[in-house]
Amino acid sequence: MAEIDINGGVAATTLAGDITSGSTTINVADGSSYPPGTTNFYIVIDRGLSGEEIIEISARSGNAFTAVTRGADGTSPTSHSSGATVEHCVPALTLQEANTHANQTTGTPHGSAYVTPSGNVATATALETARTIGGVSFDGTADVDLPGVNTAGTQDTSGNAATATALETARTIGGVSFDGTADISVTATDLEPSASPSIAGLTVDTNTLHVDAGNNRVGIGTTSPTQPLDVNGTARFTGNVNSPGTYATTTATAANMTILSNGFFYRSTSSSKYKTQIEDLNADLADVVLNVRPIWYRSLSEADPDEWSYYGLLAEEVAEVEPRLVHFAENGDGGNEPEGVQYERFVVPLISLVQRQQAQINALSERLGALESKEPS
């Protein structure tokens, strides 16, 4: 019997059209899982029905099969209708010959010689290459004796063994000698480094973090720190910023820094290069400061002593008069609420008030002088 192709996992399909008992081209709905047809294979149409037929296929092109034998394996050629079930199968003759070969170990049935195995088999009587066990050659053809094991003699046991009582060379563990003959104790003192560890230089992820140990500097965002801590970028602190050195460094100039509600520090400026649409302050805008209410109060801030008292303004009241004189902060609801009074901004409208009052004083002085000069002596 010629060689045939048998595939596992082949899906059943159906005829894509009618065929007669003499058709040699059989079209199916889906032949993609069937053998490629380089070697003959078998299909069965209408398995279990009165018109069951086994067909030997010699080639497959896509969904088109070429039949070389119709009515194979004891079935008869017959016509089949479109939609009939098509399945991959193994003919009975193939199974019969496989069973014959499996049960016969000699002879040349069906003109095919049996193969004599040359590798490992369950009934091998000798090893192809003899091996040495304990210095004794063993090829599997007979039992062997091992000196020092089941016969008189000795075995070479030099080197490490499971029953060794000492290391050939003592080792040091945490500075304590150990040769395996007894337990040892390693104390905290033994684990102390002989010298303080040091790092000559460390760079993490290019310039994310750089340690300049030679100059005692750390750079974040820079590989060339010029200060003990040099940060190139925005630094965020969730706690307080404590800088006694800054407090101890004094100056006679006015403050030029402000802290916004988001925690950012900004430098306060007054130069004309930072301003646009410059004009004199309207008197009406300046006079609004006369509408604020000065108050006396005690502070709820933890940093302020309870026994101290203060005077100032309420940010909420000032915001109603002039919002530009107040600091605002987010209130958590998406809006803003008055947080603090920008007392330094009161200087400008007060200057306007003083200037206008001075002008009035000067005018009144002139009038008074004129009246006094007209009085009889």
DSSP for 73-104 reads TT-----B-TT-EEEEE--HHHHHHHHHHHH-
Q: Is 346 exposed, middle or buried (0-12, 13-18, 19+ CB in 10 A)?
A: middle
* 53 token code pair: 């037929």
- 156 pLDDT tier (thresholds 50, 70, 90): low
Instruction: Say whether pLDDT at 184 is over 80.
Output: yes
pLDDT digits (tens, 9 = 90+) for 26-61: 999 999 989 887 888 999 999 999 999 999 999 999
- 107 pLDDT tier (thresholds 50, 70, 90): low
| Strand extents, DSSP E, the chain | 13-14, 25-27, 41-45, 53-61, 64-72, 85-89, 131-133, 136-138, 171-173, 176-178, 201-204, 209-212, 217-220, 229-231, 257-259, 265-267, 295-297, 310-312, 326-330, 336-341
- Residue 114: HSE in the Cβ half-sphere, 13 Å Cα cutoff: 13
Return the pLDDT at 113.
47
pTM exceeds 0.85, yes or no: no
DSSP letters, 13-33, are EEBSS-B-TT--EEEBS--TT
pLDDT digits (tens, 9 = 90+) for 266-285: 887 888 999 999 999 999 98
Q: Is 45 exposed, middle or buried (0-12, 13-18, 19+ CB in 10 A)?
A: buried
The arithmetic mean of pLDDT across residues 179-187, rounded, is: 82
CA-nearest of 292, 351, 348 to 323 is 292
pLDDT digits (tens, 9 = 90+) for 42-51: 999 999 999 9
Plot region of 38 (φ>0 → left; ψ -120 to 50 → alpha; else → beta): alpha
Mean pLDDT, the chain, whole residue set: 83
CA-nearest of 60, 75, 72, 64 to 19 is 64
pLDDT digits (tens, 9 = 90+) for 302-353: 889 999 999 999 999 999 999 999 999 888 888 999 999 999 999 999 999 9
